[in-house]
Each structure stands twice: as C-alpha cells, then as structure tokens.
Amino acid sequence: MPVVNGGRSNVKLIVYNSAGEEVKRIIDRELEAGSYIAEFDRTNFLRGVYFYKFTADDFSETKSMILLK
C-alpha cells in the first residue's frame, strides 16, 4: 500500500458524553506516523460514562471509558 502524504495523517481524538455531545477535542491536526501520548484534563468533568473516537484518515474507532473521581 502506498504511503499517503509522506506518512502524515489527519488525526482526531474527540471525547463525547453519554448523550453523544462533543465535550473535548483533544487532537485535531495532521501528524506523522508514530506513537503519541495525549493528555486529557478531566478536571471539569463529572464522573460517568464517556466515549472517545479516534480517527486517522480512513480509519475510525470509538470506545467507551468510565471516569471515576
């Protein structure tokens, strides 16, 4: 498979509440291929179930997380 954009991808990491509303956009930019660490400041969030969606070009994955305080 050919490398697109010299190994760069349009990457998004977005957190949604249980109602499906976007509550935090952690990453929304073009990145080089590789491993990254993203920090999520949850100070102003209530405990409960949230969903996060990771998108990179044509790939997309959504998972759930539980925030405990």
Digit-coded pLDDT (tens) for 16-50: 999 999 999 999 999 998 899 999 899 999 999 99
Q: How many CA atoms lie within 13 A of 53 on its CB side?
A: 17
Domain range for 13 = 5-67
Distance CA 9, CA 4 (A): 8
Q: How confident is the model at residue 69 (pLDDT cuts 50, 70, 90)?
A: confident
pTM score, whole prediction? 0.83
Residue 50 near residue 15 (C-beta atoms within 8 A): yes
What is the model's pLDDT at position 15?
97
pLDDT band at 1 (very low <50, low <70, confident <90, very high): very low
The tally of domains found in the chain comes to 1
Q: What is the CATH number of the domain that holds 28?
A: 2.60.40
5 falls in which pLDDT band (50, 70, 90)?
low
Evaluate the CA torsion angle 40, 7, 10, 60 in order and state its sign.
Answer: negative
Residue 16 structure tokens: 């949604």
